[in-house]
Structure 1
């Protein structure tokens, strides 16, 4: 059953179908720039998808088939970032959104084409997997705006992109292409056009959605623990991993293997 819910006055749309969730930025006239309301509602949208709607994987994309996201909506800065106090509050909303993407229980896939700048780049970096087509362009123009990027978002970018390329992007503010950034390991794969990209993204999402949710959650948590060198997360991942041995899905997986059929996992 398909479920859809709009957030941030319709500029953030969450939908699920057959276990695959989509989180789409709908601000096409501004290259899908992320408004303050959108930043605040990203955690709510992810909770809707992963908890209320039962998504087993979430695809993050920009609407309109042109751009992923130009980042924060700078047209709002005169009000939402007019001074140090409001800027700090705005950055906190950014960080909360990045953390929600990073820590949501199910895997996230960024489907990137066109502009992927600033906060949009941060969203992509916080996702688990990233695929793009050749139209994609990446940049972090913070230094050209006279502001600093949130430190936790920088951590996501360093982990996803590597030290040297992160330095180049942050220090210069200059854009690079999908093919250039692919060599850093930031992208899982790059495709020649949007049709190939969408086909690959949904094939990957379908493969993930068909697997045991508890196993995927344990794997995601363990990967986070390793990449973030977090002993608390590692302990949580060990507990979650051990719990799979007593799950109904583990019994189903063994039965399906013995019976040479496709398993039906319920996340239990």
Structure 2
């Protein structure tokens, strides 16, 4: 195993990209990969200049989940839950770009992102029951809140695989593109659009939309964030740009 195969984080202005880099193993994740991903996520959490995260993979498939034979005794579900919770709670808006298959915990990596784009060749499955694993709470919560109880039960209790059309129908995929090239172009275009928006408003609305979905809306915290935006220089810039009919230049202040 070489360090070069671990996930790579690259930042280009306000857009960060994390790339899974084990295409010969369908981007199977080793313990070192999970540790590397956690490190990248922590870097992003403390990088206010970054406004958008793209999570993507090399090769024909997005990710085949954790290599369960790699480290005996490792609680892979707990590691995945912690990682996905941290991705979900990033202040940046996150986009997952999926081609080919997403299996097991890889489905939760994608669900932890705010938007998911795929290709017509996409498919997904969660073989937890086939392995005798009990799926972890955070992953079940994301399945139910993102997709609904029906699709969650089909994936976990019936062990069904979903193709790209079914993934779009249950809202796992926000958009489905005809090729990997079209996928990459669409995700970049969406990332650039989001990066041009006001980051204070985006991070606050993301946080409160997530808590609202979980039934835990904190109205006091929401009002504090709303007032923060109302008093921000970004709002002043947005109004000036609107009046001048020019693109705004937001600073996050």
User: For the residues of structure 1 that align with 2:217 and 2:51, how far apart are their CA atoms?
Assistant: 26
Is 1:191 aligned with 2:177?
yes
- The equivalent residue for 1:67 is 61
TM-score when normalising by structure 2: 0.93
1:103 offset after TM fit, Å? Answer: 0.3
Is 1:107 aligned with 2:93?
yes
1:162 offset after TM fit, Å? Answer: 1.4
Aligned positions, number: 252
SS of residue matched to 2:97: strand
- The equivalent residue for 1:267 is 252
User: For the residues of structure 2 that align with 1:75 and 1:29, how far apart are their CA atoms?
Assistant: 17
Which structure is higher in helix share?
1
- Structure 1 residues 7-16 or 153-162, which shifts more? 7-16
1:220 to 206, 219, 226: 206
Per-residue deviation, residues 90-111 of structure 1 (Å, max 9, x unmatched): 3332221011111000111111
Change (3 A) 1:258 1:192: same
User: For the residues of structure 2 that align with 1:175 and 1:148, how far apart are their CA atoms?
Assistant: 18
SS of residue matched to 1:219: helix
- The equivalent residue for 2:104 is 118
Q: CA RMSD in A?
A: 1.8
TM-score when normalising by structure 1: 0.88
- The equivalent residue for 2:147 is 161
Is 1:40 aligned with 2:26?
no
User: For the residues of structure 2 that align with 1:230 and 1:40, how far apart are their CA atoms?
Assistant: 29
- Structure 1 residues 43-52 or 159-168, which shifts more? 43-52
Equivalent pair of 1:34/1:73 in contact (CA under 8 Å): yes
1:158 offset after TM fit, Å? Answer: 1.3
- The equivalent residue for 2:231 is 246
Segments of 4+ in structure 1 off by > 3 A?
7-10
Change (3 A) 1:160 1:45: same
